[in-house]
């Protein structure tokens, strides 16, 4: 399955060298050029014979070519986005036990890195692409995705060739839902699992990848220009967080008139409000919206459920549908016992997409992984339930629970109520701790229009739909919520902003 994906990419480089493979801020890249850069980097990798590679870059051609070269050489890699400081890079390198660093651009080299075993991809002269087939070696790991959770100390999720192959087998059909060809829009950085799934499967099914730089995160018009700059490249599919889609909807030109080829939107990674789905359906009536879910630890995505008119009309919470491919789920209690239909418990995911655990192997959170009757599983930390048809509905996270004045509260439940208010575009609830004690809940709200009337309506709505103890004690109305590199609401930045405001 993984070999089928890689063989498709190899064949396209040989058979369709002039077809566009990538579009980024620097312009268009055809398969011939991608292949020549990949081969040049692969030759250097094979000469050095590393065990694990760390790639430092953003969305440059050589950054992605380095990822492709590592894969063709059978070497696992991890990516650190260039927006991170070099101190973070060195932390990840130590976690990954990387013995070779590849820099996606010469400008990324500084004195901190000069002592590391490294090479600059741009220094390798292009050569004709020679790979004819992908052969799997002894290494089972495709890539390691670095994640910090709430600790700030990186751990690595080991994604296997087998798991990504199982993912690709079902995802390729969803990626070309109701259409063929065109281009796929990549927003997430390449250090994020959403960035990996944007690139490899898209190239394999014959789609170019349009890479939106993170300098355009809050510039929807610039993103639209990049998506439409090549007359012969028409975007047809999209995968992003709802936060990034909300930002794009700030521009009235984000519609089917500007992007007539758009046929499928995958939206996930955060809570997806009904209002956002309604906006997308109104602007792109020819497109299907898929509500996506899947922890990083289960290889990108396990659910991608088409949103129906009935979902929009009758459901307060959008269904995630049934697991796809080889995935299956159980709702379990703390003792690992399966719970009945409709009862809320922890979502446990079973099957071939489950990752090989965390690096370092001694990491205490590896207890979340296990095996039962020869089948790997991952305890997701997500709370949810299934209905009679096996459709999954999420209710929040274990680590999203707080205890406030003796009451147990799910922060996501507060945000879910806010999302049902017509005046709200986005919101985030931040718990404020002083000396490890929870002192208050602060809510940041972006309204559709920031007027006194909208503010008053929102505050009344929250008091009407929440118990008094769940209503945040402080509400800040903002023109925009900050986004992380991965396109999610940056809650850490909001906490820092709150503390800075208190000091000033």
Mean pLDDT, 10 residues at a time, the chain of 504 residues: 95 97 95 98 96 94 97 96 84 90 88 76 94 88 80 82 97 88 93 93 96 91 96 95 92 97 93 89 95 94 91 79 96 92 95 95 92 94 93 82 68 86 92 76 93 94 84 91 84 85 75
Give the residue among 239, 212, 207 at the shortest CA–CA distance from 225.
212
> What is the extent of the structural domain holding 74?
2-314
pLDDT given at position 230: 94
Q: Which residues of 254-282 are buried (b: 16+ CB within 10 A; e: fewer)?
A: bbeebbebbbbbbbbbbbbbbbbbebbbe
Query: H helices then E strands: how many in the chain?
Result: 13, 25
For residues 299 and 168, membership in a common domain is answered with: yes
Residue recorded with tokens 């380095």: 66
The domain total for the chain is 2
- Cβ pair 26, 50 in contact under 8 A: no
Backbone phi and psi for residue 368, each to the nearest 5 degrees, phi listed first:
-70, -20
Give domain status of residue 273, yes or no.
yes
Dist CA 115 CA 288 (whole Å): 50
pLDDT given at position 406: 60
Give the residue among 389, 170, 191, 194 at the shortest CA–CA distance from 295.
194
Residue recorded with tokens 């590393």: 50
Give domain status of residue 332, yes or no.
no
For residues 22 and 168, membership in a common domain is answered with: yes
C-alpha to C-alpha distances, 109 to 85, 106, 155, nearest whole angstrom: 12, 6, 24
Give domain status of residue 399, yes or no.
no
For residues 105 and 205, membership in a common domain is answered with: yes
pLDDT given at position 150: 47
Domain boundary pick from 314, 339, 359 = 314
CATH number at residue 45: 3.40.50.12780
For residues 306 and 411, membership in a common domain is answered with: no
Give the residue among 280, 241, 243, 250 at the shortest CA–CA distance from 427.
243
For residues 94 and 237, membership in a common domain is answered with: yes
Residue recorded with tokens 């990419």: 9
Give domain status of residue 364, yes or no.
no
For residues 300 and 419, membership in a common domain is answered with: no
Give domain status of residue 41, yes or no.
yes
CA angle 46, 211, 221 (to 5 degrees): 160
| R_g (Cα) of the chain, nearest Å | 23
pLDDT given at position 112: 65
Dist CA 36 CA 28 (whole Å): 15
For residues 29 and 171, membership in a common domain is answered with: yes
For residues 163 and 291, membership in a common domain is answered with: yes
C-alpha to C-alpha distances, 484 to 217, 374, 488, 490, 494, nearest whole angstrom: 9, 38, 5, 5, 11
For residues 309 and 410, membership in a common domain is answered with: no
Domain boundary pick from 314, 331, 363 = 314
Give domain status of residue 219, yes or no.
yes
Give domain status of residue 209, yes or no.
yes
Domain boundary pick from 299, 314, 329 = 314
Give domain status of residue 166, yes or no.
yes
């Amino acid at each position: 399955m993984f070999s089928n994906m890689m063989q498709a990419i190899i064949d396209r480089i040989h058979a369709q060298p002039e077809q566009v493979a990538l579009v980024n801020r620097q312009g268009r890249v055809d398969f011939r050029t991608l292949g020549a850069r990949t081969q040049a980097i692969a030759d250097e990798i094979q000469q050095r014979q590393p065990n694990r590679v760390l790639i430092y870059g953003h969305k440059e051609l050589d950054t992605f070519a380095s990822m492709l070269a590592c894969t063709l050489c059978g070497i696992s890699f991890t990516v650190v986005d260039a927006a991170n400081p070099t101190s973070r890079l060195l932390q990840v390198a130590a976690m990954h036990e990387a013995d070779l660093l590849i820099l996606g651009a010469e400008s990324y080299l500084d004195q901190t890195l000069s002592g590391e075993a490294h090479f600059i991809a741009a220094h390798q002269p292009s050569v004709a692409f020679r790979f004819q087939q992908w052969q799997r070696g002894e290494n089972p790991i495709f890539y390691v995705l670095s994640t910090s959770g709430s600790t700030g100390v990186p751990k690595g999720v080991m994604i296997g060739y087998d798991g990504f192959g199982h993912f690709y087998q079902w995802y390729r059909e969803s990626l070309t839902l109701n259409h063929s060809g065109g281009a796929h829009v990549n927003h997430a950085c390449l250090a994020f699992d959403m960035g990996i799934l944007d690139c490899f499967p898209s190239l394999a099914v014959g789609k170019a990848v349009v890479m939106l730089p993170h300098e355009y995160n809050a510039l929807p018009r610039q993103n639209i220009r990049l998506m439409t700059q090549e007359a012969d490249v028409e975007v047809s599919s999209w995968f992003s967080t709802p936060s990034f889609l909300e930002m794009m909807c700030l521009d009235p030109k984000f519609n089917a008139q500007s992007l007539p080829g758009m046929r499928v939107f995958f939206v996930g990674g955060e809570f997806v409000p009904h209002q956002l789905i309604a906006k997308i359906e109104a602007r792109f009536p020819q497109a299907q919206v898929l509500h996506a879910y899947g922890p990083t630890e289960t290889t990108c995505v396990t659910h991608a459920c088409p949103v129906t008119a009935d979902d929009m009309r009758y459901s307060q919470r959008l269904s995630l549908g049934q697991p796809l491919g080889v995935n299956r789920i159980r709702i379990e209690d703390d003792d690992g016992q399966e719970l009945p239909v409709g009862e809320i418990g922890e979502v446990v995911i079973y099957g071939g997409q489950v990752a090989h655990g965390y690096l370092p192997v001694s990491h205490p959170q590896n207890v979340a992984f296990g095996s039962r009757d020869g089948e790997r599983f991952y305890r997701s930390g997500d709370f949810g339930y299934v209905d009679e048809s096996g459709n999954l509905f999420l209710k929040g996270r274990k680590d999203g629970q707080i205890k406030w004045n003796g009451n147990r509260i799910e922060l996501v439940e507060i945000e879910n109520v806010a999302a049902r208010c017509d005046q709200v575009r986005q919101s985030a609830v931040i718990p404020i701790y002083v000396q490890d004690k929870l002192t208050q809940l602060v809510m940041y709200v972006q309204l559709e229009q920031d007027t006194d009337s909208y503010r008053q309506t929102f505050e009344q709505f929250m008091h009407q739909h929440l118990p008094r103890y769940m209503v945040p004690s402080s509400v800040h109305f903002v023109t925009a919520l900050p986004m992380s590199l991965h396109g999610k609401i940056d809650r850490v930045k909001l906490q820092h902003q709150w503390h800075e405001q208190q000091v000033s």
